Structure 1
Amino acid sequence: MTDPLLPILQAAAEVFLSRPALAGEEHDRDRFVSDRRQMILDAVATLPALRDRIRERLHTPRNRSDVEALATLILSTDDATVRAALRLAEQLDRERLAQHTLRKRYQNKVHELQSRLETAKGRHQHAAAALETARHAVTELEKRVDELDTQVSALQDRLRDPRVLAANLLGLLQQPSQEHDEGPETRDPRNHGQQDRPAPLAALAAHAAGIDPERFLTALQTLITPRPTRPRVTVVQERRLRVHPLGGASEIGGSCLLVEAGGTRLLVDAGLRPGDPALPPRDIDEALSGPIHAVVVTHAHTDHCGYVPALVDRYPELRVIATSETALLMPQMWTDSAKLMGERERLHRQWGSYGEALYRRGSVEAAARRCEELPYGVECLIGDVTVELFPAGHILGAAGVVVRAGSQRIVVTGDISGFRQETVDGYAIPRSAREADLLVMESTCCAEDHAPRETRVNDLVRAVEEVYAGGGRVLIPAFALGRAQELALIMRTHLPHIPVLVDGMAATIASSFERITAQHPSPLRIFGGNVSRAQDMRKPMPFTSGVVITTSGMLTGGPVIQWAAEILPEPHSALFLSGYQDEESAGAKLLRLVKEQASHLTVNDHGIERNIPLNARIDMMRLSAHADKRGLLEIADEVGARQVMLVHGLSRRQRDFHKILQIRGHGFAATGPWA
């Protein structure tokens, strides 16, 4: 509410200021009104001539009838009316001032209450965030406890089996003693031949036991592979080896090889194919038509081991044979697969479609209890066949397999590499694999000629350094098992000044690598220095500089989606893909979009499509853990098998590589049933 006398006071001030006595002096009308208010009112009340002059000047607002009426009364020719009108105006002004004071107090109170409300909201949000963080931490802790419970339960069950105890002891005794450890190069099995003499630890243990070392090792071997107590009459023809690829033959994923001899049927690997939901090996029904006595797992990647819990559901007494590292890593991979399949199943149900999970948590626990740890170089009898594992490089615990029945032998490489990595040495072909009847060899990179490992590492290091120096962040999607840990160790070794976060499943597996290798001659130290574990994968924003290593390696889901949404729009940042990209994956789509110079990437995040601007640098930095064309030829030459069968690759590449093998004198076996 404005002062009702203000128009009259201003008009009167203009009359006073127009007098000759004040001419030439600078006066402000509004200030004159403020300083001389009472004098002006007295003059208006006593000087009719002044009122006449004010009426001439005054332009009252036509939309304010109350002001017009009051002005009419004040400017009346009757002095009594004027005085009464002025008293009324003064009363109205006092009421106006009182209302203004109340309004001010009210506004101050409202402001104070709003401030308190904002403070309370902030505290509430902080408390809610802290509670959510605590809940997330508890969930992660519960998940980790469940994983450890599963591993401990499986370990306790395995330790009750004398064969497992003997195999673990034999594997430990066959390791070189740390007193003779002269560094990683001496620990690389490719740098020395297979030794017939007992390993130093075995000799020390035998000496302590007061027995001959050879007899000591033979006794352990007998516990692992007991000899038949009664002679059996066996038709030699029945023991001939038969091989049938059931998955991962002319494709990458879902690896599974059926091996038969006599009355024994075993699988080498049983992996999942990519899909929604995850898919079993392509022709697994052919194996499920009869008994399966064991599955030998070459390594813990899901495309080689992910179907094992479903097999244990069907065959509760199934033997699951792998190296100790693989036996410890597989339950984590199975648990993650069961979780993802459960989430997909719920999502499918919401949309009224079918997508039942292949197995659940109980199946994982049952499969973990069936694991038997078999050290490299130790024979294990499975019915009519004997299997032996040998180092295959690739990832921690990876193994190739020699399968023998009677006088026949086949060699299955699994995924294999010959170069030394940060986390694992290269392959070591044993004598038992030489001149085998059949070599079943992976062919992932049979059409590629990779640059030397050191060159590829240096290219990656240089690219990361450039982005970091330019003030950007680097996102590296990586496979949770193997590649992520390799990248973290490369960053720690070559770029110790750059902060590195390991997120999601990759961080969980990294911790497992440290724990599993703690007693090894050369334990792995991934975390520490500049490498740390992300605390909350849902809040990547605080990490403003450095490298993020997270899953999934093909951008198909996981925390990488949120990281990509934060980093890809940044012009100074980068995303470096580090491995194989399935043709249908978001990673392969991203590479195609880069070639097309597209502006956005559309990804599926838990059933919700997200459009991510593509402003960052995007490159492929191949750090493949597979042997390339040259490496595969070296393996074929070293084994010297009568025939070579290619699996785990693309058919068009396999055809070209088979021609090269034939030119070099290697026998040819079509990718399919073999006997």
Structure 2
Amino acid sequence: MPNIEVTPLGAGQDVGKSCILVSINGKNIMLDCGMHMGFDDERRFPDFKYITDSNLNGYLDCVLISHFHLDHCGSLPFMSEVVGFDGPIYMTHPTKAICPILLEDYRKVTMDKQDKRIKPIEPDKFFTSQNIKDCIKKVKVIGLHQTIKVDDELEIKAYYAGHVLGACMFLITVGSDSVLYTGDYNMTADRHLGAAWVDKCRPTLLITESTYATTIRDSKRAREQDFLKKIHEVVDRNGKILIPVFALGRAQELCILLESYWDRMNIKAPIYFSLGLVEKANHYYKLFIPWTSQKIKSTFVERNLFEFKYIKPFDRSYIENPGPMVVFASPGMLHAGQSLNIFKNWAHDSNNMLIMPGYCVAGTIGHQVLNNAKQVIIDGKKINVNIKVEYMSFSAHADAKGIMQLISNTEPKNVLLVHGENDKMSFLKRQIEKEFKINCYKPANGETETIETFPDLSVNLSCNTYRQQCLEYTKFGAKKPKIFRGAVSVREDGSLELQDAQSFAEENGLKQHKIRFTSSVALNEEFESITNLESQVYDALQNQLAEFDSSVIFSKSSADRSISLNGNLVVKISSVKELIVSWPFEMDDLGQEVVKILNTIDEDGIV
């Protein structure tokens, strides 16, 4: 029996370096190829030896990249150009456009760090600018809701994931089995992006991120008001606010929010954004308007929300400027670049504020200060942290409620958690198994999880069988049946058909067997007259069963002292002071009701 095997090379019980290997019915797919932002040595990349020992090109059928964040695509040029993967790589149009820019920015920052090191990075341990260009040439583009056949057996489809511009989920189908991989996603729409959307695809396995596995966020409006209030307070006391962000994503969301507030409150303090990034961001949002929120799409012709009146490009010389200012600087985890440089200069002053709007992986300066570090080491120097640190989650990841909502919407047979912390995953795993009654897994990096699959057999249901069994269920006030009884026939064309037992028996010359249930009720010792007893039993059944089912037809036979209901269910009065109830399998509910009524008659002493 074919199984699905999942092995995380990154993001297994960890946030960062997403790289998941999936084997489904003989096809091998890599889901994302990210780097870990908390390391600057060989640990930044997944351990590709796991697959290179098996011949990378002979093993992998394709690579799917969910979005442009470096923890999901940062190892791609290394894997394709240094390790040597020549197969197809799939991503959306926006991801293909933005991915090389972020990769090149990261490469430059890494090279700047190398200049300060005694030991430089070895050529086979990192990627070059040319590697990035050659890698992107191998990328094939997939559109939203587009289905692509990678080969005769492997099929992929992309769904909108929210999170950042161009982010998508992938549905991978091989034969009768399918895997839905979410990447990072957001189930709530915001100012510039819509909510994730996927149809009721019922995958064999759902692989979902679990960054906020135990978090249920407060209302978006309350969070925004708190954010604006804190910034206004610091500006009023002439302090400086640093907001580390990634170039595209939460940066645009918060810029739109502050732009509106500055206009409404007539605030004069300057707002700055990392030089060049505003222009780049605007360019891509204009280019990919169909990927934005409904509000931006509907108002774009009249007014482009990404053309800011109050937000200006930031220059390094502004760091020492007196007076209040708000600065958006990248990257978002304070692990390198301009945001880290500004933090280094402002961290000593308790009048200033650092607002972290998103998740920070372990090992970054951002993670350290969020965990109340009062001293950090930057470029070999100790930096005292007196700046006020606030964590205000504007991260575009699904929270616990959103993850449960996605599971409910897609109805998977199994769930596997990645991109989360182990303890939080364990909590969410228990909740999923309890609420949905399905298996949930959370493998660690390098650990293979095997999910058993069961082939779906297509069986035709005859109209006669469907009609008969629906009538039986609805007769007793029940809903239409989800499970149908009968016999399966193999037709001449190889198809399977479920027939009702009688039709099957007649067609195949078989004698039909009938199952009947029997129950007995002991009679009250005080009764004397059998005739009187028959009358009382008959009256009681007729009165009480009328409420249960008005269509029950009664008939009496004085010859064998029996009462027949609908010609099938029989209540018989024996000579040894017993009421014997006999009914066929199909009338189980009615039979049980009769036994209950007769027990009540005897307990009340009517007989």
TM-score (norm 1): 0.59
Q: Secondary structure at the match of 2:436?
A: coil
SS at match of 1:328: helix
Q: Is the 8 A contact 1:241 1:405 kept in 2?
A: no
Which residue of the other structure, out of 266, 279, 285, is the alignment partner of 2:49?
Answer: 285
Picking from 471, 476, 496, the partner of 2:238 is 471
Q: Which residue of 1 aligns with 2:158?
A: 389
User: Which residue number in structure 2 is paired with residue 332 of structure 1?
Assistant: 101
How far the C-alpha of 1:303 sits from its partner, in A, is: 0.5
1:46-65 → structure 2 map (5 Å cutoff): none
Match of 2:71 in 1: 303
Supply the AA of the counterpart residue of 2:148: C
The equivalent position to 2:136 in structure 1, one of 355, 368, 372, is 368
1:402 aligns with 2:166: no
Deviations for 1:250-274, whole angstroms, at most 9, x for unmatched residues? 1011111223345542211110113
* Residue in structure 1 matched with residue 254 of structure 2 by the alignment: 487
Out of 623, 626, 633, which is 2:404 matched to? 633
Structure 2 counterpart of 1:622, from 384, 389, 393: 393
Q: List per-residue Cα deviations over 1:92-150 (Å, max 9, x = no partner).
A: xxxxxxxxxxxxxxxxxxxxxxxxxxxxxxxxxxxxxxxxxxxxxxxxxxxxxxxxxxx
Q: Which structure is larger by alpha-carbon Rg, 1 or 2?
A: 1
Higher relative contact order (CA 8 A, sep 6+): 2
Q: 1:538 to 1:609 in 2, by over 3 A?
A: farther
Aligned to 1:674: 450
- Change in Cα spacing, 1:509 to 1:376, as seen in structure 2 (3 Å) is same
Q: Identify the residue that residue 211 of structure 2 maps to in structure 1.
A: 444
The reply on whether 1:611 has 2:383 as its aligned counterpart is yes
For residues 338 and 330 of structure 2, the distance between their equivalents in structure 1, rounded to whole angstroms, comes to 6
What are the equivalent positions in structure 2 for 1:109-508 lying under 5 Å apart?
Answer: 241-261=4-24, 264-274=27-37, 275-277=39-41, 279=43, 281-288=45-52, 289-290=54-55, 291=57, 292-313=60-81, 314-315=83-84, 317-348=86-117, 350-351=118-119, 357-383=125-151, 384-431=153-200, 433=201, 435-496=202-263, 497-498=266-267, 499-503=270-274, 506-507=277-278
User: What is the CA-CA distance between 1:301 and the residue it aligns to?
Assistant: 0.5
- CA deviations over 1:219-274 (Å, ceiling 9, x no partner): xxxxxxxxxxxxxxxxxx67x65433221111011111223345542211110113
Aligned 8 A contact 1:259 1:265 in 2: yes
Question: In the alignment, which residue of structure 1 is the partner of 2:346?
Answer: 567
Q: Quick one: structure 1 residues 613 and 282, their matched pair in 2 at CA, closer, same or farther if it must change by over 3 Å?
A: closer
State the 1:639 CA deviation. 1.1
CA separation in 2, counterparts of 1:267 and 1:334?
A: 19
Quote the offset at 1:568 in angstroms: 3.4
Match of 2:415 among 644, 647, 650: 644
Indicate the residue corresponding to 2:535 in structure 1.
Answer: none
CA contact (8 A) 1:413 1:442 kept: yes
Amino acid at match of 1:423: H
Where in structure 2 are the equivalents of 1:529-540 lying within 5 Å?
529-534=309-314, 536-540=315-319
Q: Please give the TM-score of this superposition, normalised by the length of structure 2.
A: 0.65
Report deviation, 1:648: 0.6
Matched, 1:587 2:366: yes
Q: What is the rounded CA distance, in whole Å, between the counterparts of 1:666 and 1:490 in structure 2?
A: 41
Q: CA deviation at 1:559?
A: 1.4
More helix by share: 1
2:332 to 549, 553, 557: 553
Shift of 1:519: 7.3
Whose strand proportion is higher, 1 or 2?
A: 2
Q: CA deviation at 1:322?
A: 1.0
Query: 1:405 and 1:353, CA in 2 relative to 1: closer, same or farther beyond 3 A?
Result: closer
Q: Distance in 2 between matches of 1:355 and 1:564?
A: 31
Seen in structure 2, the aligned counterparts of structure 1 residues 571 and 656 have a Cα distance that, compared at 3 Å, is closer
Q: CA 1:316–1:286 in 2, change beyond 3 Å: closer, same or farther?
A: closer
* Matched residue SS, 1:270: coil
For 1:345 and 1:351, locate their aligned partners in 2 and report how far apart those are by CA, in whole Å.
8
Q: Give the count of matched residue pairs.
A: 426
Indicate conservation of the 8 Å contact 1:505/1:551, yes or no.
no
Label 1:359 to 1:631 Cα distance change in 2 as closer, same or farther (>3 A).
same
Could you give the per-residue CA deviations for residues 500-529 of structure 1, whole angstroms, max 9, x where no partner exists?
111157546524433433677355643421
- Shift in alpha-carbon separation, 1:495–1:517, aligned structure 2, 3 A: farther
Q: Which amino acid aligns with 1:469?
A: D
Identity rate, percent = 21
Q: Please, which runs of 5 or more residues in structure 1 have no aligned partner?
A: 1-236
Taking the aligned partners of 2:73 and 2:237, their CA distance within structure 1 comes to: 42
Q: In structure 2, the residue corresponding to 1:312 is in which secondary structure?
A: helix
